[in-house]
Amino acid sequence: MRAAGRFIVLIAALALAGCGYNTIQREDEQVKASWSEVLNQYQRRADLVPNLVNTVKGYANQEKEVLTRVTEARAQVGSLRVSPDTPSDPEAFSRFEAAQSQLTSSLSRLLIVSENYPQLKSDANFRDLQAQLEGTENRITVARTRYIQAVQQYNSTVRSFPNNLTAKMFGYTEKPNFSVANETEIARPPRVDFGGTPASSVGGNN
């Protein structure tokens, strides 16, 4: 009886493997790992915002509208309820993407404004924060790219026969991905340029 039981378990395991269960599991874990890195990098950026805003305020307090927009965008990002399951919820994922896009746009505008204040641009703290922001934006781009690739592979797997039957049986569905428009914006992160670069070339949006 024991031998028969082990044989049944072996057959069941082979059947699941043949239907893509193990592949789906593995690719789902890769999506989760990639999503975690995306969150880490976006949080790193959010943590830079308060000091950046306060530094700019010290030299350009009259730019209240720009400073307010950055602060509000950062607050919106912070108010989101984000979890490892967010990629499985299209609506929650869409809210996350929209909030991060708004913060990206607001930060780009802040850096454009900073070009009008030579003393601010020469401030050591501002230069350090700006360099950290540029590095973080680059890491965000890398993390997003890896996430996009992981989701594309996973979605392709759960759509393919016979994997789609296994996916449906165990509740695995397609996951939302970052939009092309938003990806183009992220691909042009705010740049650090202390050589007097014209404001129109700084950041992704104006």
In terms of residue numbers, what domain contains 153?
A: 2-201
pLDDT given at position 189: 45
- Does residue 121 sit within a domain? yes
pLDDT given at position 20: 83
Q: State which of 63-77, 169-183, 188-202 shows the largest mean pLDDT.
A: 63-77
- Does residue 124 sit within a domain? yes
- Distance between terminal CA atoms of the chain? 73
Number of domains in the chain: 1
Q: Is the pTM of this model over 0.85?
A: no
CA-to-CA separations, 83 to 32, 89, 96, 130, 151, in angstroms, rounded: 10, 10, 11, 29, 16
What number of other Cβ atoms are within 10 A of residue 178's Cβ? 19
- Does residue 159 sit within a domain? yes
Amino acid at site 30: Q
User: What digits encode the pLDDT tens for the residues 65-119?
Assistant: 999 999 999 999 999 999 999 999 999 999 999 999 999 999 999 999 999 999 9
- Does residue 206 sit within a domain? no
- Does residue 31 sit within a domain? yes
CB 66 within 8 A of CB 154: no
CATH code, domain carrying 96: 1.20.1440.20
Model confidence at 193, pLDDT cuts 50, 70, 90, reads: very low
User: What digits encode the pLDDT tens for the residues 148-159?
Assistant: 999 999 999 999
pLDDT given at position 19: 72
Model confidence at 180, pLDDT cuts 50, 70, 90, reads: low
pLDDT given at position 179: 81
User: What digits encode the pLDDT tens for the residues 23-61?
Assistant: 999 999 999 999 999 999 999 999 999 999 999 999 998
CA 100 to chain centre: 8
